[in-house]
Amino acid sequence: MSHAWRVTVFLAGAAGIAVLFALVCRTLPGPLPVRNRYAEAINSRVYAQRNVTDAVSAVNFDYRGFDTIGEEFILFVSVLGSISLLRITSERTEGLLADAAEPSRDVPASDAISLWVLVMIAPKVLFGIYIVTHGQLTPGGGFQGGVILASAALILYVGESFAVFRKVVSWRLVELAEAAGAGGFLLIGMIAWFWGKPFLTNVLPLGKTHELTSGGTMPLISLATGLEVMAGFVLLLFAFLQETLTVRGEE
């Protein structure tokens, strides 16, 4: 199909969407009367029922924990897919990679950048752990904290080089962390079976509100999710960097 013809078909479709959308918007009840009973039920109960202050994390890791398993495995499978697509198998490319990863072939980072990166990594990791562990108290949790932790690995590459990145980040260890995160979520869900309760029931002691240990299984699931998200993103970073450097090595 030619470009002009494709755009014409698109414009016809877009005009159709615009008309239907405008018609639908006219019948909307407006923001005030719309009430989500389910959301109100959670908001009014979460503090008394689960001893936590963050209703969003309670939805993610407790009330709708089963849906989060689905989300987490989308993440798991897409990371798995990316890695298998980018996987480098032949010895030839391994050799090229070793050449490309030689520190001498990288543009050396200036001392100012290297120093700044080394200074920044510790607070970044600390902040990530803080966000992961305080999910049930303040905005945060495994998903957000995991991404912050993974970005610590990214700035290691930005400030130093891929050679340093490879030295510090162990592929095997990160792979293990991802498996532990994904499996840990399922195992925490299975704890409920010992009490004869359904999968993912919050059976652990709920602790005191405003404390780190409050929320029963919530902080544990948040931790497992954080591990999985962090490891998933670091693996992606690793695979893409390897691919880039292999291509550079071939040229």
Partner 1 sequence: MQEQIIFYAGFAVAAWLFVIGLYGIISSRHLVHLCLSLTVVQAATYVLLAVIGYRPGLPAPIFVGFPATSPAVDPVIQALMLTDVVVEATVIALLLSITVRVHRRTSSADPNEVDLMRG
State yes or no: residue 224 binds partner 1 (CB under 8 A). Answer: no
Question: Which of 247, 221, 171 has the alpha carbon at shortest distance from 69?
Answer: 221
Q: Which is nearer to partner 1, 91 or 111 (CB)?
A: 91
Among 88, 109, 113, 147, binds partner 1 (CB under 8 A): 147
Closest distance of CB 23 from partner 1, Å = 12
Give the Cα separation of 80 and 182 in Å (integer).
12
- Dihedral angle at the C-alpha atoms of 80, 229, 149, 161, nearest 10 degrees? 10
Helix (H, G, I), strand (E, B) or coil at 47: helix
- The two tokens of residue 23 are 């018609």
Per CB under 8 A, the segment of 29-37, 88-96, 116-124, 162-170 that binds partner 1 is 29-37
**Residues numbered 83-112 forming contacts with partner 1, rule: CB under 8 A:** 85-86
Give the Cα separation of 168 and 191 in Å (integer).
35
End-to-end Cα, the chain, rounded Å: 35
Q: Which is nearer to partner 1, 44 or 170 (CB)?
A: 44
- The two tokens of residue 141 are 């949790």
| Chain positions contacting partner 1, by CB under 8 A | 3, 6-7, 10, 14, 17-18, 21, 25, 28, 30-32, 34, 36, 38-40, 42-44, 46-48, 53-60, 64, 68, 71, 74-75, 78-79, 81-82, 85-86, 137-139, 141, 143-144, 146-147, 229, 232-233, 236, 239-240, 243
